[in-house]
Amino acid sequence: MERRNLFAGPYLDRAAHQRQDAAWFDAALADARSRVVPVWNARSSLVTEGDEPRAALLDLASLPPERRCAADLVLLGRYEGDPCFALDIESAEPPPLRPGTRFADLRAIASQLPPDEAGLLAYARALASWRRRNRFCGNCGAPTTSVRGGNVLACSSGACGHEHFPRIDPAIIVLVSDGDRALLGRQAAWPPGRFSTIAGFVEPGESLEDAVTREVLEETGIEVDAIEYHSSQPWPFPASLMLGFTAQAVSREVRLNDRELEEARWFTRADLAGGGVLFPSNQSISYRLIEHWFDAGGGQPLRSIHGRAG
């Protein structure tokens, strides 16, 4: 990949082998260099003074002593060489932060952050969301307890003892073309003029290729083949992994079978270059797929035509 997708990349050493090392974990809790990524109400802490926002990390020593514990902190790994933890803050009002910092919706601001910081905040947000949804064992209903650096939630019932691991929801996203045209759709809730690639969740017992074929047919009535993998993007809103593909159309007539889309139609490169289409954010995998197809036609690159898409 010439560029990695937003939220992806080796932005930290996950230090998975340290999650079961109680002595190392205790030493990290006492390490003055250790830092914390706070999450409040699924929002991330940001420094908003200056020209560009930045992630607002806390020194672990700044937390109240009762919060500096294995029950509350989740080991993310080593960030810039130092231990780094996530802390989910549960309160009706946001906790006090340093002047110039605030909690904000990561989805709205991620593309403005340095890529490594965006990835770190996304990882912390995803783990906080998972832990909130698994406070009780799905097998027996007993409370769960935090183990292995907070990356596993174990059932507290001795009769059950089931271990719960973080889960992601795989979703396919695909750029369908017939060579000279790309198939894009729009949902009714989107701003007027915005179109994007076709996407949907993978169902149980379904391969990724089968999901591509099914979703495109259900949403647009188009049959496809020549399905090829492009790239993936973590999407922690709350727990998706977007798996990007390209595919060739076998049929051409668009039919909105399941009515999930308000509109779907074919676009030429000239259509997309003309300024009448509002694209998804240029940090999204959907934009990357459109860009990949558009630029393969030669001529002026899509980014140089539209710059920073909305």
Per-residue pLDDT of the chain in tens (310 residues, 90 and over written 9): 567 899 999 999 999 999 999 999 999 999 999 999 999 999 999 998 777 899 999 999 999 999 999 999 999 999 999 999 999 999 989 888 888 899 999 998 998 999 999 999 999 999 999 999 999 999 999 999 999 999 999 999 999 999 999 999 999 999 999 999 999 999 999 999 999 999 999 999 999 999 999 999 999 999 999 999 999 999 999 999 999 999 999 999 999 988 899 999 999 999 999 988 999 988 899 999 999 999 999 989 999 988 644 4
Contact 129, 168 (CB under 8 A): no
Whether residues 24 and 126 share a domain: the answer is: yes
Q: Find where tokens 């259900």 sit.
A: 218
Give the whole-angstrom CA distance, residue 274 versus residue 157: 62
Whether residues 208 and 266 share a domain: the answer is: yes
- Using DSSP, state whether 296 is helix, strand or coil: coil
**Share of the chain residues as helix, strand and coil, in percent rounded to the nearest 5:** 25, 30, 45
Query: What is residue 299's predicted lDDT score, i.e. its pLDDT?
Result: 87
Whether residues 154 and 177 share a domain: the answer is: no
For 150: left if phi > 0, alpha if psi spans -120 to 50, otherwise beta; the answer is left
Give the HSE-up count for residue 244: Cα atoms under 13 Å, Cβ half-sphere.
22
Tokens of 309: 């898409």
Give the whole-angstrom CA distance, residue 66 versus residue 89: 13
Whether residues 269 and 200 share a domain: the answer is: yes
Tokens of 67: 């919060």
CATH code, 123: 3.90.79
CA 285 to chain centroid, in Å, comes to 10
In a domain, 7, yes or no: no
Query: What is residue 2's predicted lDDT score, i.e. its pLDDT?
Result: 64
In a domain, 4, yes or no: no
Whether residues 121 and 65 share a domain: the answer is: yes
CA 97 to chain centroid, in Å, comes to 25
Whether residues 144 and 228 share a domain: the answer is: no
Nearby residues of 310 by Cβ (< 8 Å), 6 or more positions away: 191, 194, 278, 279, 281
Whether residues 287 and 190 share a domain: the answer is: yes
Structural domain harbouring 54: 16-133
Contact 89, 81 (CB under 8 A): no
Whether residues 193 and 124 share a domain: the answer is: no
What is the pairing mode between strands 101-104 and 54-55?
Answer: unpaired
Tokens of 283: 């940090």
Give the whole-angstrom CA distance, residue 16 versus residue 19: 5
Predicted TM-score (pTM) of this structure: 0.91
Q: Is the dihedral of CA 134, 28, 39, 236 positive or negative?
A: negative
Q: What angle do CA 16, 40, 19 make, to 5 degrees?
A: 15
Nearby residues of 32 by Cβ (< 8 Å), 6 or more positions away: 59, 60, 61
In a domain, 278, yes or no: yes
CA 111 to chain centroid, in Å, comes to 12
Into how many domains does the chain fold? 3
Contact 245, 173 (CB under 8 A): yes
Tokens of 98: 């340093």
In a domain, 10, yes or no: no
Whether residues 184 and 234 share a domain: the answer is: yes
Give the HSE-up count for residue 108: Cα atoms under 13 Å, Cβ half-sphere.
8
